[in-house]
Amino acid sequence: MALHILKTRRFTMATLLLGFISFVLTGPRLDLSSLYINGLCGRYEHARTDLHVQIFSRDPLVLYIDNFVSQDEIDHLLNISEGLWTPSMVYPGGKSHVDTSQRVSESALLPRDEIVLRIEERALAFQGWRGNSTYMQKMKTQRYGVNGFYNFHYDWDSLVKDGNRVTTYMVYLVAECTGGGTNFPRLQRPNDTRWCNIIDCDDDEYSGVTFKPRVGAAVFWENMHPNGSFHRGVRHASLPVKSGVKVGLNIWGWDKAWKPPLELQ
């Protein structure tokens, strides 16, 4: 009896599969293009399907994304940044001021036009659905000339108690420079030399891992542990530019519902 039921189920599954294949081959043409699929995603229609993503670190979670922005998008971001550049500030506890001992660059707070919103939506979709409390802060471009840098820091802020930066994207728009890498001193440098196109494998000056500025690419990381506590493995710096110019794009995910876990209160 059991054998008869098993054979019947196998026959039914095979029949359904053959029927589906026949429908695909002879029935109405299915539009499975990326444009159609993205169109089904509503507000996430600009989540790109041609991203090349590699897991660099699992704890903390650090991902490397090729082609996060296109050259047309880069040209647009650079164009709308003109006339908006101001000296970059530091923001301890939400209070902003210029501190050239910690940070030397120029920042431009970008207006939310159609292309900027497209990139924001892409970043929001990439990091997964996190509820209505998480959104992308207004994006900023950062321009570094010779000797421009941002000293070691965290993107989370230990001085705020309601809401915090939970995710970060560092996107490279212009990389006509020497130096200027993004260094994570607490990440372990991999032994696999295939990473050397992405990180500086010959860096003897700084410990940890230094990501090379590569146009269009992005480094993404989680700023918190799963329990909401600060992850100290994501301490990082924008290393000094030795020659030329570097322009980056900062994208931060802010969770307004975040509160310090009990052990931090």
Tokens found for residue 12: 């039914």
- Per-residue pLDDT tens digits for 77-113: 999 999 999 999 998 887 899 999 999 999 999 999 9
Q: How far lies 143's CA from each of 108, 172, 176, in Å?
A: 8, 10, 11
- C-alpha angle with apex 152: 183 to 98, nearest 5 degrees? 130
Radius of gyration of the chain (CA): 23
Assign 47 a pLDDT band (cuts: 50, 70, 90). low
Q: Looking at the predicted structure, is the pLDDT value of residue 118 above 70?
A: yes
**Which of 119, 152, 138, 130 has its CA nearest to residue 51?**
119
* Burial zone of 144 (CB within 10 Å; 0-12 exposed, 13-18 middle, 19+ buried): buried
Per-residue pLDDT band at 45 (split at 50, 70, 90) = low
CA 165-166-170 angle, to 5 degrees, is 80
Q: What is the pLDDT of residue 211?
A: 98
Output the pLDDT for position 92: 83
pTM: 0.81
Residue type, 81: S
Q: What is the pLDDT of residue 264?
A: 59
What is each CA distance from 108 to 77, 141, 180, 203, in whole angstroms? 10, 5, 18, 30
